[in-house]
Amino acid sequence: MKRLEVLKTYKIYIGGKFPRTESGRYYTPLNKKGEQLASVSQSSRKDVRNAVVAARKAFGGWSERAAFNRGQILYRIAEILEGRKLQFIEELIFQGSSKSNAEKEVNVSIDRFIYYAGWCDKYSQILGSVNPVASSHFNFSVPEATGVVGVITDQTSSLIGLVSLVAPIIAGGNTCIVLASESKPLCAITFAEVLNSSDVPDGVVNILTGSQEEMIEPLTTHMDVNAMSYSGISKNFEKQLKESSALNLKRVSIYSKDWIKSDNQDLYMIADFQEIKTTWHPIENIGGSSSFY
């Protein structure tokens, strides 16, 4: 007897759970051959709202984790990704990649996480400084996570576009809401499963599928989102992004890079989502000539 294949329901990822979209809507993206990829959740503005609430809730814990531990967790993502390589390659091919491109995309994605995992406990030494001042104080500048970041990923890539934006954001202690590629959404949700089994705390990364055009408005106007990261070519999106981000002065970073190239990753993508805090600390020279003690 021929076995009936069990197909996966591609649901969205909010707060460490895989709910269906609140709206109950679905869309069915097709690949180049006209085959149906899957029935994918078409998220609504309320899903965006819920995702922001989850990301905000996760922010305190994630940003306060020891930098070394964040590095361990990013490394763990890479490990789990490596173990599920074949599934990602299969999905990429189904969505229209050639075999060699698919393999390369997954390998670069894994390496990218390793790269940013290494930075976790090092970027603050490079981006921070001890500043010279004219009094008996230490004066430090240290980077701190910006907060909740909205991520609008590249339409043209299913995995590497998402990984390249998300990795530096979470490496820096931020949490995020990701609008996945609308036409190639499969890897985004499978990647959510990787996150879910990699010790990444619930709500640190939230992934929504559906119409980016529909979700960009509630996401970019949301007062509880502190920054936006965009990779893509739509000038309309860019304009809308900049305009609505002005509402609460969101940090906006727009990238147009070929993510598959292994050198399109750097420390400054972490710096894009850091705030620099400067603090003064008096130098108490105990027992010294100017000491009160």
Partner 1 sequence: MKNDTTNIVLPDFSKSPRIDKVGVEEQVAKFQKRSVKAETKKQGLRMALNMIDLTTLEGKDTPGKVKQLCYKAQHVHDILPGLPKVAAVCVYPSMVGVSVKALAGSGVKVASVSTAFPSGQSPLSVKLMDTKFAVSEGADEIDMVISRGKFLSGEYNFVFDEIAVIKEACGEARLKVILETGELVTLDNVRRASDIAMYAGADFIKTSTGKIQPAATMQVTCVMLEAIRDFMDTTGIKVGMKPAGGISNSKLALHNLVMVNEVLGSEWLSNEWFRFGASSLANDVLMQIIKTETGVYQSSNYFSID
The token pair at 113 is: 């996480």
Q: How far is the CB of 222 from partner 1 (least distance, A)?
A: 4
**248 vs 278 by CB, closer to partner 1:** 248
Under the binding rule (CB under 8 A), the answer on residue 248 touching partner 1 is yes
Candidate ranges 49-57, 92-100, 138-146, 254-262; the one touching partner 1 (CB under 8 A): 49-57
What is the dihedral sign for C-alpha 171, 16, 52, 43? positive
Q: How far apart are CA 212 and CA 231, in angstroms?
A: 12
Under the binding rule (CB under 8 A), the answer on residue 52 touching partner 1 is yes
Under the binding rule (CB under 8 A), the answer on residue 275 touching partner 1 is no
Under the binding rule (CB under 8 A), the answer on residue 223 touching partner 1 is yes
Helix (H) or strand (E) holding 242: helix 235-245
Indicate the SS3 state at residue 277: strand
Under the binding rule (CB under 8 A), the answer on residue 49 touching partner 1 is yes
What is the dihedral sign for C-alpha 15, 16, 22, 26? positive
The strand pair at 148-152 and 227-231 is best described as parallel
Q: How far apart are CA 175 and CA 291, in angstroms?
A: 44
Candidate ranges 48-56, 66-74, 155-163, 208-216; the one touching partner 1 (CB under 8 A): 48-56
Q: How far is the CB of 258 from partner 1 (least distance, A)?
A: 34
Under the binding rule (CB under 8 A), the answer on residue 222 touching partner 1 is yes
Indicate the SS3 state at residue 78: helix
Task: Identify each DSSP E strand in the chain by its residue range.
Answer: 26-27, 40-41, 129-130, 137-145, 148-152, 175-179, 205-208, 227-231, 251-255, 274-282
Under the binding rule (CB under 8 A), the answer on residue 143 touching partner 1 is no
Under the binding rule (CB under 8 A), the answer on residue 243 touching partner 1 is no
Q: How far apart are CA 245 and CA 41, in angstroms?
A: 26
Under the binding rule (CB under 8 A), the answer on residue 172 touching partner 1 is no
Q: How far is the CB of 57 from partner 1 (least distance, A)?
A: 11
**56 vs 70 by CB, closer to partner 1:** 56
Candidate ranges 93-101, 168-176, 216-224, 254-262; the one touching partner 1 (CB under 8 A): 216-224
Under the binding rule (CB under 8 A), the answer on residue 150 touching partner 1 is no
Under the binding rule (CB under 8 A), the answer on residue 249 touching partner 1 is no
Under the binding rule (CB under 8 A), the answer on residue 264 touching partner 1 is no
Q: How far apart are CA 191 and CA 170, in angstroms?
A: 15
Return residues touching partner 1 (CB under 8 A).
Answer: 49, 52, 56, 218, 221-224, 247-248
